[in-house]
């Protein structure tokens, strides 16, 4: 499939996990992809993984998505280089969370800022470009934890609940500009972030029975399975879909 030939796509959190899988899939479907991350070595590794035939359509960009100056500069560079922006995938995120009583103010601020303010920051500078051209698509990465809570996840759950609601607000506000805004909510996906959390809880062998119980398909999802949902929402196949939350969670939230 080549649903994104000549489309310009920005992916945040592109150096790892879900963002990396989405970057490679968008490139496969002929998009021009701007891969944004603050992890320089991760971006370098991603650049090496990009097949030679796609490299002229690949632009790694080192930026912290919570820094509005850096985001504005990134968006300006993309527009200077490629003239337009068709898709923004707001995906960068972190998980360092605990109960309210065990969360420091610094942890709270960082969690909410990276997971939620980043969506505001990137959208703020990309939306005017999309308004100019009269079309555009934004996909945000929420989480099952934007829909159902888990104990000791205070700031993470709050940030992802915020992403789900901000998705709906942006969908309503920019519908008249022909801009669609949707959200994917992954369950447990096998990425470095999930592995860090699994390791904290005793490793995969210890956690697997619990993951099987919570996720009826009985396994971790893969980054590519989430990326495919992101590409669907970003494509014309989803032309009448906006303001929605697509669960990619192996049935986690069905029970
Ligand atoms: P990951 O840790 O593998 O990748 C996240 C990427 O975001 C990293 O490359 C990191 O450097 C980048 N990043 C973090 N803060 C940044 C910042 N301020 N500026 C620029 N880049 C930044 O994580 P994963 O699993 O791929 O997560 C992607 C998204 O999916 C996150 O929003 C996460 O909350 C969400 N998610 C992940 C789930 C999972 O099970 N892996 C489940 C539900 C949601």
For 123-179, write each residue's pLDDT tens digit: 999 999 999 999 999 999 999 999 999 999 999 999 999 999 999 999 999 999 999
Question: 3-class DSSP state for residue 189?
Answer: strand
Q: Give the structural domain span for 206.
A: 191-220
Question: 3-class DSSP state for residue 249?
Answer: coil
Q: Which of 215, 194, 217 is nearest to 204 (CA)?
A: 194
Q: What b/e sequence results for 116-125 when a residue is b if at least 16 CB atoms lie within 10 Å of its CB, and e otherwise?
A: bbbbbbbbeb
Q: What is the pLDDT of residue 1?
A: 87
128 in the same domain as 196: no
Q: Is 241 exposed, middle or buried (0-12, 13-18, 19+ CB in 10 A)?
A: middle
- Expressed in angstroms and rounded, the spacing between residue 176 Cα and the centre of ligand 1 is 31
Tally the domains of the chain. 2
Q: Is the CB of 249 under 6 A from ligand 1?
A: no
**C-beta pairs of 226-229 under 8 Å, 24+ apart in sequence:** 226/18, 226/21, 226/22, 226/141, 226/184, 226/186, 226/189, 227/18, 227/21, 227/22, 227/24, 227/25, 228/25, 229/184
* Residues in the chain where the model's pLDDT stays below 50: none
181 in the same domain as 128: yes
- Domain membership of residue 177 (yes or no) is yes
104 in the same domain as 203: no
What is the position in ligand 1's atom list of the atom closest to the CA of 192? 3
Q: Which of 61, 11, 3, 51 is nearest to 30 (CA)?
A: 3
56 in the same domain as 141: yes
Nearest CA to ligand 1 atom 39: 189
Question: 3-class DSSP state for residue 170?
Answer: helix
Q: What is the pLDDT of residue 74?
A: 98
Query: Is the overall model pTM greater than 0.95, yes or no?
Result: yes
Question: 3-class DSSP state for residue 184?
Answer: strand
Choose which residue among 92, 163, 200 to substitute to test ligand 1 binding: the one with the highest number of ligand atoms within 8 A of its C-beta.
92
């Amino acid at each position: 499939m080549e649903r994104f030939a000549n489309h310009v796509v920005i992916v945040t959190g592109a150096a790892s996990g879900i963002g990396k899988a989405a970057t490679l899939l968008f490139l496969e479907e002929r998009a021009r992809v701007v891969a944004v991350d603050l992890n320089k070595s991760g971006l370098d590794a991603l650049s090496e993984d990009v097949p030679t035939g796609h490299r002229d359509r690949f632009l790694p960009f080192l930026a912290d998505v919570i820094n509005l100056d850096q985001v504005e500069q990134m968006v300006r560079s993309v527009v200077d280089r490629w003239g337009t922006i068709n898709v923004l995938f707001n995906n960068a995120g972190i998980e360092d969370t605990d109960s309210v009583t065990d969360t420091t103010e610094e942890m709270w601020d960082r969690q909410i800022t990276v997971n939620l303010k980043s969506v505001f920051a990137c959208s703020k500078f990309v939306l005017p470009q999309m308004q100019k051209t009269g079309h555009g698509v934004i996909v945000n990465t929420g989480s099952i934890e934007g829909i159902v809570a888990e104990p000791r996840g205070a700031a993470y759950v709050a940030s992802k609940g915020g992403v789900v609601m901000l998705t709906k607000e942006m969908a309503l506000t920019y519908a008249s500009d022909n801009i669609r805004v949707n959200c994917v909510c992954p369950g447990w996906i096998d990425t470095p972030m999930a592995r860090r959390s699994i390791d904290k809880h005793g490793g995969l062998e210890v956690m697997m029975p619990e993951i099987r119980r919570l996720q009826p398909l009985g396994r971790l999802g893969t980054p590519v399975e989430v990326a495919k949902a992101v590409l669907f929402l970003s494509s014309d196949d989803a032309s009448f879909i906006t303001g929605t939350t697509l669960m990619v969670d192996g049935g986690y939230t069905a029970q």
